[in-house]
Amino acid sequence: IANLREVSPMSFGSAPVAFAMLADAMERDATLRQAFFKNLRGMGYGGATLSDDLYDRMQALAVAETGERMPFTTMYGATETLGVTVVHWASE
């Protein structure tokens, strides 16, 4: 999380547990939220199911910072091949 203050990613993918920690941190720290969403174009998760609550929290943070919801995809594959297959249906 500390590195995200210096590096504003264009895409970010991780396990849901990391998104939970990131959401907690960004809900407390507007500067971190600004740095995270500055260049972000999409997020992805894998390794476990992402809860509806966590999805909603991340989208609320995106809207608060950018005014728009963020594409959030699920990724299928082993950790070593994170994101080999990504599926996204634009539904909103």
pLDDT tens profile 23-35: 999 999 999 999 9
- Is 92 inside any structural domain? no
- Is 18 inside any structural domain? yes
- Is 12 inside any structural domain? yes
Q: Which domain holds residue 56?
A: 2-87
Q: What value, to the nearest 5°, has the Cα angle with vertex 76 and ends 23 and 18?
A: 20
Task: Quote the pLDDT of residue 1.
Answer: 87
pTM of the model as a whole: 0.83
Residues (pLDDT < 50) of the chain are none
CA dihedral for 36, 37, 38, 41, sign (positive or negative): positive
**Domain tally, the chain:** 1
